[in-house]
Amino acid sequence: MDNSGPSNFIQEIIEQDLRIGKHKSVVTRFPPEPNGYLHIGHAKSICLNFGLAAKYGGRCHLRFDDTNPRKESPEFVRSIMEDVRWLGYDWGEHLYYASDYFPGFYRYALQLIEQGQAYVCSLTPEEIRRYRGTLTEPGQNSPFRERSIEENLELFQGMKEGRFQEGRHVLRARIDMSSPNINMRDPVIYRILKADHHRTGDEWCIYPTYDYAHCLSDSLEGITHSLCSLEFEDHRPLYDWFLKQLGVECHPQQIEFARLNLNYTVMSKRKLTQLVQGGFVRGWDDPRMPTISGLRRRGYTPRSIRRFCDLIGVAKSDNIVDMSLLEYCIREDLNKLAPRVMGVLSPLRVVITNYPGDRTEELEAINNPEDESMGTRRLPFSRELFIERDDFREDPPGKYFRLAPGREVRLRYAYFITCDRVIKDQDTGEILEVHCSYDPQTRGGNAPDGRRVKGTLHWISARHAEKARVCIYDRLFSRPNPAQDEKKGLSLQDLLNPQSLQVTDNCLVEPGLSSARPGERFQFERIGYFCLDPESQPDRPVFNRTVSLKDTWAKIEKKMSNESGKK
RNA sequence: UGGGGCGUAGCCAAGCGGUAAGGCAACGGGUUUUGGUCCCGUCAUUCGAGGGUUCGAAUCCUUCCGCCCCAGCCA
């Protein structure tokens, strides 16, 4: 988080609290439920919570909100810790699990019962729903609401000891069935769940609900500011009610902010789980997923994600951030970091007819023009090369300044070449190869006579090229707001972008690249940023395209075709 | 028709009674051996709408409109 930048409303609250002495330091927490992988929306929360703690010299806890054993697993715990760490945050000693507090929660429940503020309700789930009333009608008191404290204690004890089946009883807070806030209509705080918990095993068969457990976890840990998303705003009165009735010493302040949405993707664990389980993506870490692990595999850096979270700000209005901002952030980072290499995605053979067939020479190339300390490397050059198919046009449109018959261009760090002849398949008309001649005077890419060329192309010596597979990713969904479309009745599946993954074999990369380390990032000059996939084999490297370079030519071309379409 | 929120540019977002920051996107131009980067410039006479208070309103009051969330023994 930027230490000097403009503040958001949460920082204002914190600074005020510090100023008036309400708190001496700041304690926040990131409280995921281990029921799925983290996504970039969580990153916003992580950056906020850890960032605030760092900025104000406090601390931030990592706490697993594991109160529902049916949905949680150690795999998710593992992945969450990995992702938070990868993002660059450290919770130090402060790793907690709500499940560690189960005994305490239980004692607090006893206290509520003794205070006459909780009761065992034996209505069925359907009955509870009916008694709850509706948005416009008040609820009705449960017939079990007036059970004696002794009976409640006895029944609750029985629940804990497993004497009842699931659904037979619940423990409810005794608040107000006619509250206009439905959350206050005697919410369930304990339910019977005969499920193995990932940490407590079969020790418990009653589990606390979120509203009850969360505020107490916060309180027990001495949290000062408990940040959560907007949909919990309605729950704040409940949060405060429990802490007040229980008379705890620490009463954190819950503050709500708007969760992150990104266009052309979805950001709910339910939907992401659906994509994974339905096999629509290859897993939680599929590079098309907005998960932290997906972004990592795609080639995003932790810093670019932190920067993104900084740029989007924190406020209370619903938002859908444009994907282009995320792309801006990764380009910004990779431009400084990524070594430049040559890679040809769709190779077209070029024969330099006046270059001897038995000759090879090495030309010096700069590894990163943004960072001189990254040095240079030598690239082999020979009579037969490959260039990008897109970089040649037999019949070039206006403003196209790449290779075309009779035209001279520069091969980056090599020579000027001129196209003399196009060899085509007699039957199909497909361009098979292009014959060019080079100017030996232009070695390195400059003409001694000062003549200029408009185009500079990337290339690879045919003899020295290494094969690679390249995965090009596009937006996962074809619609900007799939979540809303789904609400209107469309199925997520139908909203997927069928072109979101395009695998191309037979790509060629410069020598040595196929032995890059998994996760290593490069800029393929003039194309984009790529990252070696962890599933690469030594003999068959797989590169994931993280993001393309900005493509002004594509824009011009599109504009030209639009204009000609109008005519 | 209950309760809770939110409306500032295509997308985020500052603004806190003194005359609309910033970023992304878009669009122009310059530099360039990446049509990349970088640099320069353009982009809200108006803040959801109307009324009111005030010398002065995006900021205060008021009415209206729109959008989001809540009726799990999920979180």
- Cβ atoms of A297 and A534 closer than 8 Å: yes
- CA-based R_g, chain A, Å: 31
The pLDDT score that the predictor gives to residue A565 is 65
Residue A230 to residue A208: CA distance in whole angstroms: 22
Q: Which of residues 123-142 of A touch strand B (CB under 7 A)?
A: 123-125, 128-129, 132, 134-136
For B69, which residue's CA is nearest its C1'?
A231
For B14, which residue's CA is nearest its C1'?
A6
- φ, ψ for residue A365 (rounded to 5)? -125, 145
Indicate whether this complex's ipTM tops 0.90: yes
Q: Is the pTM of this model over 0.90?
A: yes
Q: Which nucleotide is nearest to A168 (CA to C1')?
A: B73
Residue A206 to residue A104: CA distance in whole angstroms: 13
**How many Å from the CA of A266 to C1' of B41?**
37
Per-residue DSSP letter, A496 = B
Task: Tell me the DSSP string of A526-567.
Answer: TTEEEEE-TT-BTTB-EEEEEEEPP-HHHHHHHHHHHHHHH-
Q: Which nucleotide is nearest to A452 (CA to C1')?
A: B33
| Strands across the sheet containing A501-509 | A340-341, A521-524, A528-532, A542-548, A466-473, A501-509, A343-344
Active site residue: A145, A259, A443, A467, which one? Answer: A259
Q: In 3-state terms, what secondary structure has residue A386?
A: strand
**How many Å from the CA of A559 to C1' of B40?**
24
| Strands across the sheet containing A59-64 | A27-30, A59-64, A95-97
Distances (CA, A) of A86 to A69, A79, A83, A170, A527: 26, 10, 5, 40, 27
Residue whose token pair is 């969450």: A80
For each of chain A's 567 residues, which pLDDT tens digit applies? 333 444 799 999 999 999 999 999 999 999 999 999 999 999 999 999 999 999 999 999 999 999 999 999 999 999 999 999 999 999 999 999 999 999 999 999 999 999 999 999 999 999 999 999 999 999 999 999 999 999 999 999 999 999 999 999 999 999 999 999 999 999 999 999 999 999 999 999 999 999 999 999 999 999 999 999 999 999 999 999 999 999 999 999 999 999 999 999 999 999 999 999 999 999 999 999 999 999 999 999 999 999 999 999 999 999 999 999 999 999 999 999 999 999 999 999 999 999 999 999 999 999 999 999 999 999 999 999 999 999 999 999 999 999 999 999 999 999 999 999 999 999 999 999 999 999 999 999 999 999 999 999 999 999 999 999 999 999 999 999 999 999 888 999 999 999 999 999 999 999 999 889 999 999 999 999 999 999 999 889 999 999 999 999 999 999 888 877 654
**Continuous segment of H or E residues that includes residue A319:** none
Q: Which of residues 537-566 of A touch strand B (CB under 7 A)?
A: 549-553, 555-556, 559
Per-residue DSSP letter, A397 = P
Nucleotides of B under 7 A from a protein CB: 1-8, 10-16, 21-27, 33-38, 67-75
- Point out which residues pair with A378 in neighbouring strands: A364
Residue A393 among the catalytic residues: no
Q: Which nucleotide is nearest to A445 (CA to C1')?
A: B33
**How many Å from the CA of A329 to C1' of B29?**
25
Residue whose token pair is 């100023």: A19
The pLDDT score that the predictor gives to residue A142 is 98
**How many Å from the CA of A256 to C1' of B6?**
12
Q: Which of residues 357-396 of A touch strand B (CB under 7 A)?
A: 368-370
**How many Å from the CA of A275 to C1' of B71?**
28
A282 CB less than 7 Å from any atom of strand B? no
For B11, which residue's CA is nearest its C1'?
A322
- Point out which residues pair with A262 in neighbouring strands: A321
User: What would the two tokens of residue A63 be?
Assistant: 């706490």
Q: Which nucleotide is nearest to A128 (CA to C1')?
A: B73
A399 CB less than 7 Å from any atom of strand B? yes
The pLDDT score that the predictor gives to residue A26 is 98
Active site residue: A33, A327, A520, A557, which one? Answer: A33
CA torsion A424→A426→A429→A432, rounded to 10°? -30
> Any residues with CB less than 8 A from the CB of A55 and at least 6 apart, and which?
A1, A3, A11
Task: Tell me the DSSP string of A26-95.
Answer: -EEEE---SSS--BHHHHHHHHHHHHHHHHTT-EEEEEE----TTT--HHHHHHHHHHHHHTT---TT-E
**How many Å from the CA of A355 to C1' of B56?**
79
Residue A5 carries which side chain, given as an amino acid letter?
G
The pLDDT score that the predictor gives to residue A538 is 85
Residue A558 among the catalytic residues: no
Residue A499 to residue A345: CA distance in whole angstroms: 17
Residue A233 among the catalytic residues: no
Q: Which nucleotide is nearest to A126 (CA to C1')?
A: B73
A312 CB less than 7 Å from any atom of strand B? yes
Active site residue: A29, A44, A172, A269, which one? Answer: A269
Q: Which nucleotide is nearest to A559 (CA to C1')?
A: B27
